[in-house]
């Protein structure tokens, strides 16, 4: 099902900015520094196992629980 990467990125941003949505840009920049460009993925992006693993690892490093 396409769009899993986008949903994972959105969940990381949502959990990390729960108290203050102004930090969304900072979280996206942190993902970019980890090699994940959030602007490249949308709901129609194909799922790539390597990218999914990279996003999951970034979530673990940021203490985010991904479903």
Q: Which contiguous run of DSSP H or E holds residue 14?
A: helix 4-16
Pair of tokens at residue 2: 């396409």
Instruction: Say if CB 4 and CB 56 are below 8 A apart.
Output: no
**Could you list the pLDDT tens digit for every one of the 67 residues in the chain?**
799 999 999 999 999 999 899 999 999 999 999 999 999 999 999 999 999 999 999 999 999 999 7
Q: Is the pTM of this model over 0.85?
A: yes
List the chain domain ranges.
4-61
């Amino acid at each position: 099902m396409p769009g899993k990467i986008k949903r994972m990125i959105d969940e990381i941003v949502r959990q990390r900015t729960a108290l203050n949505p102004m930090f969304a840009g900072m979280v996206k920049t942190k993902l970019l520094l980890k090699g994940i460009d959030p602007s490249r993925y949308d709901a129609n992006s194909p799922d790539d196992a390597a990218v999914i693993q990279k996003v999951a690892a970034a979530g673990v490093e940021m203490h985010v629980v991904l479903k």
